[in-house]
């Protein structure tokens, strides 16, 4: 049955409904083309948010009949042990797509671990070869997270011209897809919590994308009137799950805002499945 409903509820963007529509399309493609796909996930350490995300990805794969393989490492293990498993997965014909759940614990070399992947199996588009193609405006694959965020921004029907777009994150790689998507006609700025001007850069933004893993960090003091606020964070506080944005504090000031849960997360997973199917088709 086709998913019906309105994806905008006031100024709240319903990522769950958008994701259901995309998942329905993906499942239809899998059945019609009889695609057999395999996704391997690398999870390092005991970060609660990362563990939750990987669990949700596994459940989504099960529903779509995509084979999911989890490789879990604890913090006592080494870069070389993780890279050895990735090299094995690169050669495994049953694995079409590989993801490394980010962020990694600080002791690990994120760039070297991502670099170890076969770029043709890199479902997130973070391999250096894929980043170079992205920067050359010839990407073969885009990050599911970026695709999900873009779908939410597009849903607002805001004209994406001459806008200030700020990405507050912990990773340099994170901002690259948004430069590809928006920098031609907009001003795209990446920043982080170590930048003494990050609050000012956030406040100037017409569109603010936040991914810092810091619960309720963004209050209305960071937000421009009527800005679009996209909250990528997912933080388990025990009695509740919250984003990096103080939702109820910011909601009345923002033009549009994404909830946590039910915002970016479901859409990211929906596009992860789409990317996995795309890579599987490339390998057939």
Q: What is the pLDDT of residues 21-34, one digit of tens each?
A: 999 999 999 999 99
Q: How many whole angstroms separate alpha carbon 142 and alpha carbon 172?
A: 15
Work out how many domains the chain is built from and give that number.
2
Q: Which domain holds residue 41?
A: 34-136
Query: Both 148 and 254 in a single domain?
Result: yes
Query: Both 177 and 259 in a single domain?
Result: yes
Sequence-distant (6+) residues with CB within 8 A of 263 are 13, 15, 16, 152, 230, 231, 243
- Rounded to the nearest integer, the mean pLDDT of the chain is 93
Query: Both 148 and 131 in a single domain?
Result: no
Q: Count of H helices and E strands in the chain?
A: 10, 12
**% of the chain surpassing 70 pLDDT:** 96
Strand partners, 230: 209
Kindly state whether residue 82 falls inside one of the protein's structural domains: yes
Over residues 193-204, the pLDDT tens digits come to 999 999 999 999
Give pTM, 2 decimals. Answer: 0.90
Kindly state whether residue 22 falls inside one of the protein's structural domains: no
Over residues 218-227, the pLDDT tens digits come to 999 999 999 9
Closest by Cα among 256, 191, 254 to 221 = 254
User: Does residue 1 surpass a pLDDT of 50?
Assistant: no
Kindly state whether residue 44 falls inside one of the protein's structural domains: yes
Of 95, 111, 136, the one marking the end of a domain is 136
Q: Cα-atom radius of gyration of the chain, to the nearest Å?
A: 18
Show the DSSP H helices in the chain as ranges.
Answer: 15-33, 48-64, 79-91, 110-115, 128-135, 144-155, 172-182, 198-203, 247-251, 264-283
Of 106, 136, 166, the one marking the end of a domain is 136
Query: Both 238 and 186 in a single domain?
Result: yes
Query: Both 190 and 128 in a single domain?
Result: no
Residue listed under structure tokens 């944005």: 245
Cα angle vertex 208, ends 5, 113, to 5°? Answer: 95
CATH code for position 51 = 3.40.50.10860
Task: Convert 142-175 to b/e letters by CB count within 10 Å (16 or more is b).
Answer: bbbbbbbbbbbbebbeeebeebbbbbbbebebbb
Query: Both 172 and 248 in a single domain?
Result: yes
Query: Both 98 and 65 in a single domain?
Result: yes
Query: Is 234 known as a binding-site position?
Result: yes
Query: Both 150 and 257 in a single domain?
Result: yes
């Amino acid at each position: 049955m086709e998913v019906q409903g309105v994806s905008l509820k006031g100024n709240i963007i319903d990522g769950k409904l958008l994701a259901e529509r995309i998942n329905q399309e993906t499942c239809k493609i899998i059945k019609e083309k009889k695609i057999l796909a395999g996704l391997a996930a690398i999870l390092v350490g005991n970060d609660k948010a990362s563990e939750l995300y990987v669990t949700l990805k596994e459940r989504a794969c099960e529903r779509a009949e995509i084979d999911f393989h989890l490789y879990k490492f604890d913090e006592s293990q080494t870069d070389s042990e993780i890279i050895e498993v990735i090299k094995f997965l690169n050669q495994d014909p049953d694995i079409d797509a590989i993801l490394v759940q980010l962020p990694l614990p600080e002791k690990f070399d994120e760039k070297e671990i991502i670099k170890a992947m076969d770029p043709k199996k890199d479902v997130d588009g973070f391999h250096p070869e894929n980043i170079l193609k992205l920067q050359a405006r010839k990407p073969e694959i885009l990050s599911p997270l970026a695709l999900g965020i873009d779908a939410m921004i597009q849903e607002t029907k805001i004209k994406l011209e001459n806008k200030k777009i700020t990405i507050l994150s912990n990773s340099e790689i994170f901002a690259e897809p948004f430069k590809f998507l928006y920098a031609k006609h907009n001003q795209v700025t990446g920043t982080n919590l170590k930048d003494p001007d990050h609050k000012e850069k956030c406040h100037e933004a017409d569109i603010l994308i936040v991914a810092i893993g810091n619960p309720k960090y963004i209050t209305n003091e960071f937000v421009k009137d009527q800005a679009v606020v996209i909250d990528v964070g997912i933080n388990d506080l025990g009695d509740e799950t919250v984003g990096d944005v103080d939702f109820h504090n910011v909601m009345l000031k923002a033009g549009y805002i994404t909830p946590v849960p039910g915002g970016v997360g479901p859409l990211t997973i929906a596009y992860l499945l789409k990317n996995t199917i795309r890579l599987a088709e490339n390998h057939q």
